Amino acid sequence: MQPQYVIGIDLGTTNSALAFASLASVADPHQLPGASLFPIPQVANPGEVREEPLLPSFLYLPGAVDFPVGSLALPWDAGASYVVGLLAQKRGVENPGRLVASAKSWLSHAGVDRTAALLPVTAPEGVRKVSPVEASRSYLEHLRRAWTHKNPDAPLEAQEVFLTVPASFDAVARELTERAAEQAGYRDVVLIEEPQAAFYAWIERHPDWRERVAVGDLILVIDIGGGTTDFTLIAVTERAGELELERVAVGEHILLGGDNIDLALARSVEQQLAAKNVKLDTMQLHALWQNCRVGKEKLLEEGADLKETPVTILGKGTGLIGGTIKAKLQRADVDRILLDGFFPAVSSQEEPQRGRRAGLQELGLPYAADAAVTRHLARFLRQSAAVRRGPSGLACPTHVLFNGGVLRAGLIRERLTAVLDGWLAEEGFPAVVALTGEDLMHAVARGAAYYGLARRGHGVRIRGGVARTYYVGIESAMPAVPGVPAPFKALTVAPFGMEEGSAARIPDREFGLVVGQPAEFRFFSSPSRKDDAVGSMIEDFGEELQELAPMEVELPADGGNPGEVVAVALESVVTETGQLQLWCVARDGRRWKLEFNVRERVAP
């Protein structure tokens, strides 16, 4: 079945979204296509299915008597045994021990087995746990089945799907995201980074974007969601008289976002209760955490003039009236915690603080030691390899694009803009221009759909070629000589400037691949050799090439014999997320993948 749509999915920490564009509507290659949002059916209350623009990324694992029989039924699943979405979010506020939240953050946690049943971390004895991969699968499966239920003639697994991930996701987190999608019934998903998707959405909304930016401009994308903070720099360049966009810097993984803010608010309310001799246990604190997230969103909603909102959590015994603990979340406290704790006005010279870590810790997410987003931003701009720099070396953006649920709050956008303007003034540059007119909650999904169309030639693409030439070591077939190791040659697999999202096949050559037993693969790079073509072999390279960390892996024999040497052709792919994949393809169709990062990031 030929795809009828391109589909963009934002698998968010707090909310997920799906956008789509029809391939039938883009016959004119000069027409900039648009993307539409998909209303997502979900259980909003027991027995009530409702379409919502977002799917809250929450999974609730109900007990036997939590809901009436049949009240969790979906149009495509009458016997659902768990809850995803709005009802899961609501019920989890009351019973956080059965709520899986922030699965995406756990998916990026390199310190745990991300395929193990870890969540909910605070689950009491007897409650089933799931892995971050399984939780992510449940959200993706819900989206797939919801789409296919409403579009039976165009099932989602037959469409072109573009799934977004944080720019700072490591290779394992990306692979596990793809695994979750595969387990959810998706086929051939393409990953794209969230900040780039957000910028694509801005382009899609502004066909006159070439009149809004000029050659030499530097666009800073600040993406702060529920779990992570991502920074990206995109330069406006020119080729053959046409404006082009080039991604020039991506920040490191920063586990800092809405979850941190909500916990800080919960701690503030906890201190108020402690002053009244009300002490909370761990489960109650987690319930308060979820309540503060809801309260924060009410207080910061555009146009809201509330000065406070109530938060209520279940008590521990019968001594409390109604069995509940009541408190209030004050708007003044929210503003103070946000502006003083998370977005303070700091110098561009300041560095994030590195906290001293205890030797033994409870199992949890490795949140950033310094909660000040502005300090992380200062380091990013000071260490980014951008061409538009001030006298002190600070990268100086001309424009800023905000994305992510946290940045829906106007006071946060205003503070970040003011901080940036102060830094730019010190460097002798004019104030930054905000790229406005974007829907921060849906931009990533819409931008991913737009990117899918741009790959087909309908729209503009952000370029991001590799900054070095990359090689794989090939052991010579010369006879062994006692005491002398077999000589190595270097085969060019990714030439300088090879674009992200492109592939190349090594022409007219086969090589022997060892499978079924551990083997070492050596990779090299060169920042200076810019003319080596794919497939060219370099001999006697000496110190001209820089060796990367060797990779020792055991590739599966897949039906062959351990230690077998299989004749393979080589194909190299630079993915949209900056990974070099070297595919080894046997004559019988078997395929093996070697992968490593080729994108230069800001050092932590």
Residue 196 CA to residue 217 CA, distance in Å, equals 16
Sorted by sequence, the CB contacts under 8 Å of residue 490 that are 6+ apart come out as: 471, 472, 473, 474, 524, 537, 538, 539, 541, 545
Alpha helix segments (H runs only) across 435-533: 443-454
pLDDT band at 502 (very low <50, low <70, confident <90, very high): confident
The residue among 500 and 481 whose pLDDT is bigger is: 500
Three-state DSSP state, 120: coil
C-beta of residue 571 within 8 angstroms of C-beta of residue 506: yes
C-beta of residue 413 within 8 angstroms of C-beta of residue 381: no
pLDDT tens figures, 560-604: 888 899 999 999 998 877 788 999 999 999 999 998 777 655 444
Sorted by sequence, the CB contacts under 8 Å of residue 138 that are 6+ apart come out as: 59, 82, 84, 130, 184
Statement to judge: residues 537 and 395 lie in one domain: no
Q: Is the pLDDT of residue 53 over 80?
A: yes
- In terms of Cα–Cα distance, which of 133, 140, 134, 137 is closest to 108? 133
Sorted by sequence, the CB contacts under 8 Å of residue 64 that are 6+ apart come out as: none
Residue 124 CA to residue 105 CA, distance in Å, equals 21
**What would the DSSP string read from start to end of 91-117?**
HHHH-GGGEE--HHHHHT-TTS-TTS-
In a domain, 462, yes or no: no
Statement to judge: residues 67 and 161 lie in one domain: yes
C-beta of residue 192 within 8 angstroms of C-beta of residue 449: no
Report the CATH number at residue 269.
Answer: 3.90.640.10
Token output for 4: 């009828």
Token output for 337: 């915690």
Report the CATH number at residue 64.
Answer: 3.30.420.40
At residue 430, the pLDDT reads 97
- For residue 249, what is the enclosing H or E element? strand 242-250
Statement to judge: residues 265 and 251 lie in one domain: no
Q: What value does the mean pLDDT take over residues 448-453? A: 93
In a domain, 357, yes or no: no
Sheet strands (E) in 130-217: 160-165, 190-193
In a domain, 315, yes or no: yes
Statement to judge: residues 12 and 64 lie in one domain: yes
- Rounded to whole angstroms, what are the CA distances from 532 to 507, 580, 595? 14, 17, 21
Residue 489 CA to residue 492 CA, distance in Å, equals 10
Beta bridge partners of 325: 313
pLDDT band at 199 (very low <50, low <70, confident <90, very high): very high
Beta bridge partners of 503: 573
* Full residue range of the structural domain in which residue 517 is found: 469-597
pLDDT band at 31 (very low <50, low <70, confident <90, very high): low
pLDDT tens figures, 336-378: 999 999 999 999 999 998 755 444 434 457 678 899 999 999 9
At residue 33, the pLDDT reads 56
Q: Whole-number mean pLDDT of the chain?
A: 88
The number of folded domains in the chain is 4
Match 């920063």 to its residue by tokens.
254
The residue among 231 and 109 whose pLDDT is bigger is: 231
- In terms of Cα–Cα distance, which of 595, 583, 586, 535 is closest to 564? 586
In a domain, 349, yes or no: no
Sorted by sequence, the CB contacts under 8 Å of residue 398 that are 6+ apart come out as: 213, 216, 217, 218, 219, 388, 432, 433
Residue 197 CA to residue 231 CA, distance in Å, equals 13
In a domain, 231, yes or no: yes
Find which of 180-194, 236-250, 497-511 is predicted with most confidence, using mean pLDDT: 180-194
At residue 363, the pLDDT reads 46
Q: What value does the mean pLDDT take over residues 298-318? A: 82
- In terms of Cα–Cα distance, which of 331, 329, 368 is closest to 352? 368
Statement to judge: residues 241 and 389 lie in one domain: yes
C-beta of residue 381 within 8 angstroms of C-beta of residue 348: yes
**Side chain identity, residue 510:** E
pLDDT band at 26 (very low <50, low <70, confident <90, very high): low
The residue among 323 and 221 whose pLDDT is bigger is: 221
Q: Are strands 565-574 and 502-505 parallel, antiparallel or unpaired?
A: antiparallel
Residue 228 CA to residue 253 CA, distance in Å, equals 8
Token output for 56: 């809250």
Token output for 552: 């020792």
At residue 599, the pLDDT reads 64
C-beta of residue 147 within 8 angstroms of C-beta of residue 55: no
C-beta of residue 88 within 8 angstroms of C-beta of residue 46: no
Alpha helix segments (H runs only) across 67-170: 86-94, 103-107, 132-150
Least confident of 290-299, 313-322, 461-470: 313-322
Statement to judge: residues 183 and 50 lie in one domain: yes
Q: Is the pLDDT of residue 332 over 90?
A: yes
At residue 600, the pLDDT reads 52
C-beta of residue 566 within 8 angstroms of C-beta of residue 515: yes
Q: Is the pLDDT of residue 218 over 90?
A: yes
In a domain, 201, yes or no: no
DSSP 484: B
Statement to judge: residues 130 and 61 lie in one domain: yes
For residue 553, report the phi and psi dihedrals to the nearest 5 degrees.
Answer: -140, 160
In a domain, 356, yes or no: no
pLDDT band at 144 (very low <50, low <70, confident <90, very high): very high
pLDDT tens figures, 227-252: 889 999 999 988 877 788 888 888 88
**Side chain identity, residue 289:** W
Question: Which among 445, 479, 512 is the end of a domain?
Answer: 445
DSSP 468: S
Residue 319 CA to residue 525 CA, distance in Å, equals 69
In a domain, 460, yes or no: no
- For residue 259, what is the enclosing H or E element? helix 258-274
Statement to judge: residues 182 and 276 lie in one domain: no
Token output for 602: 């800001």
Three-state DSSP state, 182: helix
Statement to judge: residues 220 and 292 lie in one domain: no
The residue among 341 and 281 whose pLDDT is bigger is: 341
pLDDT band at 465 (very low <50, low <70, confident <90, very high): confident
Q: Judge residue 502's burial from the number of C-beta atoms within 10 Å of its C-beta, 0-12 exposed, 13-18 middle, 19 or more buried.
A: middle
Three-state DSSP state, 466: coil
Statement to judge: residues 262 and 252 lie in one domain: no
Statement to judge: residues 226 and 276 lie in one domain: no
At residue 319, the pLDDT reads 44
Sorted by sequence, the CB contacts under 8 Å of residue 482 that are 6+ apart come out as: none
Q: What value does the mean pLDDT take over residues 136-160? A: 97
Statement to judge: residues 236 and 328 lie in one domain: no
- Bond prior to 120 in cis (omega within 30° of 0): yes
Q: What value does the mean pLDDT take over residues 188-200? A: 92
Token output for 307: 């000065």
Q: What value does the mean pLDDT take over residues 26-33? A: 56
pLDDT band at 170 (very low <50, low <70, confident <90, very high): confident
Q: Are strands 433-434 and 462-463 parallel, antiparallel or unpaired?
A: unpaired
Sorted by sequence, the CB contacts under 8 Å of residue 309 that are 6+ apart come out as: 295, 298, 299, 328, 329
